[in-house]
Amino acid sequence: MNSAPASSNHSNEETIALDRAHVFHSWSAQGALKPLVLEGGLGSTVWDDEGNEYLDFSSQLVNINIGHQHPAVIAGIKAQADLMATIAPAHAINIRGEAARKITDHAPEGMNKVFFTNGGADANENAIRMARLHTGRDKVLSRYRSYHGNTGSAIAATGDWRRIPNEYSRAHVHVFGPYLYRSEFWADSPEQESDRALHHLERTIQAEGSESIAAILLETIPGTAGVLMPPPGYMAGVRALADKYGILIILDEVMCGFGRTGNWFAFDAFDIKPDLIAFAKGVNSGYVPVGGVIISDEIAATFDERVFPGGLTYSGHPLAAASIVASITAMEEEGIVENAAMIGRDHIAPGLAALAAKHSSIGEIRGSGVFWAMELVADRDTREPLSAANMGKLKGALVKRGLLPFTADNRIHVVPPAVVTPAEVERAMAIYDEALSEL
Ligand code: PLP
């Protein structure tokens, strides 16, 4: 592993001991935790307290689209901190308006207002409230293979094990989305998968009663559930069904938005226009916690005369707003979204195809831009998922070689920052190759 000069006063062991004494971690049994220490980063590289470097092919929680420590974003935050570090949401401050304008510049026509939140979960939470208030209906349809965040309605809308503590929430209905590799619909082509998933969605709408359904909430490309690319016709079909039954569409672009797929929004690649868009992560790469909802003019107008009964102390926080303005400006000026598209097309796609040709443990590769998954199997014919024990070994083999991976279930998600270079992708592919060979 390469070594960067250590700049910390602490050893890794000291940092871990302090963490284990006082920090309660997310999504984990606390007892056996030994978190990887990180102290600093630049671009696609991070390092620990002792100067050991890692290629960050996780983008942390798939949120560092602009890379670590982008100087323009750090400078933007510092400048705003000197001017005014915090104000109440009821006041107007120029930087907040600028952030909202920068965001809506990349949204579809007729979506001109932004409600700011603290992150992605509360973005979905408030999008759901807006949809319910706008339609006067209650139910939200979402998918089993999805994650929408760890708060009330957002966790209830989530489809997998993560929703269990909230399973008693009312008015949430789940459907299966398309996923040809493990089709719920016995389909054997993308077109058939799309048609049958749409049929299942329409039958669910009818069975639930369309007049009771406020919104269909979808991650445009389900992320933590496996980078599940929508097959041809699916997204356009969802829009057509929503229009037929008078239901709103909320697209959750928290993970897939702001350049990750090689487009500003993931839905730019599909024939669908949402009514509400939930965003967070890539909007400012998480330099300051923020998220929000982009609202159609029609829905925003609902609240011209009527109070929207919601708000957050830090909605549109000036430091978050400054980081959004600096981040989107840098992405525009430096062609960072275009870089993500090029990297996906010319480097990650062929790199993963070469790995799949060599390693029979790779069952399927899928994705676009800097948003990819390798689905790993014990047997290519039966598609039996690679065991948790082998996934653990693989993860260890990658970290040992200086690559920070994103793993979920039986998958490695290949999700570097959108600023990643061809040389860094080449190095990562060599590391994936060695680790898969070791397996
Ligand atoms: N929606 C999606 C698609 C996500 O991937 C996530 C987080 O990973 C969230 C919502 C929740 O965002 P946050 O953790 O900022 O609340």
Q: What is the pLDDT of residues 168-208, one digit of tens each?
A: 677 999 999 999 999 999 999 999 999 999 999 999 999 99
> Rounded to the nearest 5 degrees, what angle is found at the Cα of 340, between the Cα atoms of 417 and 70?
40
Q: Is residue 252 lining ligand 1, measured as CB closer than 6 Å?
A: yes
Mean local confidence (pLDDT), 52-70: 98
Q: Is residue 317 lining ligand 1, measured as CB closer than 6 Å?
A: no
Cα 223 off chain centre by: 6
Query: pLDDT digit string (tens) for 225-262?
Result: 999 999 999 999 999 999 999 999 999 999 999 999 99
- pLDDT, position 7: 63
- pLDDT, position 1: 42
- Ligand 1 atom closest to Cα of 224? 5
* Å from CA of 418 to ligand 1 middle: 18
Mean pLDDT of the chain: 96
Answer whether residue 2 shows pLDDT above 50: no
Q: Which of 47-51, 252-256, 372-376 bottoms out in mean pLDDT, i.e. has the lowest?
A: 47-51
Q: Is residue 257 lining ligand 1, measured as CB closer than 6 Å?
A: no
Q: Is residue 286 lining ligand 1, measured as CB closer than 6 Å?
A: no
Q: Which of 51-60, 166-175, 380-389 bottoms out in mean pLDDT, i.e. has the lowest?
A: 166-175
Q: Is residue 61 lining ligand 1, measured as CB closer than 6 Å?
A: yes
Answer whether residue 165 shows pLDDT above 80: no
Residue 189: CB atoms within 10 A of its CB come to: 12
- Ligand 1 atom closest to Cα of 149? 11
Parallel, antiparallel, or unpaired: how do β-strands 384-385 and 371-379 relate?
antiparallel
* Pocket perturbation via mutation, ligand 1, pick of 118, 142, 147, 153 by most ligand atoms within 8 A of CB: 147
Read off the amino acid at residue 360.
Answer: S
DSSP secondary structure of 236-265? HHHHHHHHHHT-EEEEE-TTTTTTTTSSSS
How far apart CA 57 and CA 404 sit, in angstroms, is 6
Residue 275 contacts residue 239 (beta carbons within 8 Å): no
Phi then psi dihedrals of residue 209, to 5 deg: 95, 105
* Å from CA of 63 to ligand 1 middle: 10
Kindly indicate the confidence band of residue 156, based on its pLDDT and cuts at 50, 70 and 90.
confident
Residue 73 contacts residue 63 (beta carbons within 8 Å): no
Helices 190-208 and 234-245 pack at an angle, to 10 degrees, of: 20
- pLDDT, position 167: 60
**Model ipTM value:** 0.99
- Ligand 1 atom closest to Cα of 121? 16
* Å from CA of 260 to ligand 1 middle: 14
Q: Is residue 224 lining ligand 1, measured as CB closer than 6 Å?
A: yes
Q: Is residue 149 lining ligand 1, measured as CB closer than 6 Å?
A: yes
